[in-house]
Amino acid sequence: MTNTLDRILKEIKPLDTKATAAARQRQDNLTKPRGSLGRLEELSIQLAGITGQMLPSLEHKAIVTMAADHGVVAEGVTLYPQEVTRQMVFNFLGGGAAINVLAKHIGARVIVVDMGVVGGFESLPGLVCKMIDFGTKNMAQEPAMTRQQAIDALQAGIGIVSSEKNNGLNIIGTGDMGLGNTTASSAIFAAISGYSPSQTTGHGTGIDDRQLAHKVKVIEKALATNQPNPKDPIDVLSKVGGFEIGGLAGVMLAGAAHKIPVVIDGFVSGAAALIATAICPQTRDYLIASHVSAEAGHALMLNFLELKPLLNLNMRLGEGTGAALGISLAEAAVKLLSHMATFNEAGVSDIETPEEKGA
């Protein structure tokens, strides 16, 4: 570990039980049958515990979309050419991607981060450069990155959160872009969970069944070649991960340390959550699973993480699109907690206890 990572890990504490209890008490006194708002009630209570505020403010919202390339693309695991990663970064910066539309819809800013895109970029407005290298190595042949590069990726994510706090940051959504990153995510999941690659691997960008079988074999080869240690998440990240996955794991760790809720997107963000929670299990309490994606293995991954998704919309785009929708629900949850009247405030009769009925 290094000083920055060590410091952040020491700052991750349990949720604020006083704020959680206060929020739960208020929920139970709002003008509705108790529990009738279901997950929205649970979400508002979790957000109170994360922020340490009975009535959290989510005014400043940001989606952190990290991009990086993967050397394993050379194995033919995706339908699209590798240059699509770079082209999509330009699309993000130009405001033309799905995440731009949904971020605008919820009033969030999009932070686009180059974690290691092949070809790189000149200095561009709106692009944060945290490049580790021009993409990872081909994990089917050798480790995806060095251990130091894995640590650098984690610290890059931590740095993003620390700097963005200065611009106001109450809630974070995680997003990704990188051809080959579902292959890396499937490998991470298999390595940490012990599930077989056939259980953790899906169709990614839309490959057919024959290509899927090949993708599974590539992952099996990567795991056999590199032998990642499931008890050492940084080793797993370095052997079969991606720079953007490491960066997003760093975002999650920093969010937990700074008491900022982190709404995770789909399968790739889930892989980052596996790394983050393996490094520090307490981080899980600060994560909100926005949706279960259509990518095979994601439901299994969320179950392994013990995270319950808010939505199931058959989405599998990435970019932070599901996280944006999850943030919208988080904001709705805290507004209900804050702005609904209690029975006493509204002059509405609450349920009668047996004692009040004279029983």
Is the residue at 359 inside a domain?
Answer: no
> What is the CA 329 to chain-centroid distance, rounded?
16
Tokens of 208: 């057919």
Judge if 38 and 86 occupy the same domain: no
pLDDT at residue 354 greater than cutoff 70: no
Contacts of 186 (CB under 8 A, 6+ apart): 197, 200, 201, 202, 215, 219, 297
CATH number (domain holding residue 195):
3.40.50.10210
Q: What CA–CA distance (Å, rounded) separates 7 from 27? A: 35
Judge if 148 and 50 occupy the same domain: no
Mean residue pLDDT across the chain = 96
What pLDDT does 351 receive?
76
Judge if 203 and 235 occupy the same domain: yes
5 phi-psi bin (left φ>0, alpha ψ -120 to 50, beta other): alpha
Instruction: Express each pLDDT in 231-273 by its tens digit.
Output: 999 999 999 999 999 999 999 999 999 999 999 999 999 999 9
Is the residue at 116 inside a domain?
Answer: yes
Judge if 262 and 228 occupy the same domain: yes
Judge if 142 and 20 occupy the same domain: no
Tokens of 107: 């009033």
Domain count, the chain: 2
Band of pLDDT at residue 26, cut at 50, 70 and 90:
very high
pTM: 0.96
Band of pLDDT at residue 357, cut at 50, 70 and 90:
low
CATH number (domain holding residue 50):
1.10.1610.10
Is the residue at 162 inside a domain?
Answer: yes
Judge if 37 and 86 occupy the same domain: no
- Domain containing residue 10: 3-55+338-346
Q: What percent of the chain has pLDDT over 90?
A: 94
Judge if 47 and 146 occupy the same domain: no
Judge if 251 and 315 occupy the same domain: yes
What pLDDT does 356 receive?
53
Burial (CB < 10 A; 0-12, 13-18, 19+), residue 224, is: exposed
Judge if 171 and 268 occupy the same domain: yes
Judge if 283 and 191 occupy the same domain: yes
Is the residue at 353 inside a domain?
Answer: no
Is the residue at 352 inside a domain?
Answer: no
Contacts of 351 (CB under 8 A, 6+ apart): none
Residue with tokens 């760093």: 250
What pLDDT does 1 receive?
52
The packing angle between helices 17-29 and 321-339, to 10°, is: 70
Going by C-alpha positions, the residue among 336, 285, 69, 334 that lies closest to residue 176 is 69
Judge if 44 and 86 occupy the same domain: no
Instruction: Express each pLDDT in 243-253 by its tens digit.
Output: 999 999 999 99
Any idea which residues carry the catalytic annotation? Answer: 319
Q: What CA–CA distance (Å, rounded) separates 192 from 186? A: 10
Is the residue at 76 inside a domain?
Answer: yes
Is the residue at 205 inside a domain?
Answer: yes
Residue with tokens 């039980």: 17
Is the residue at 358 inside a domain?
Answer: no
Judge if 342 and 239 occupy the same domain: no
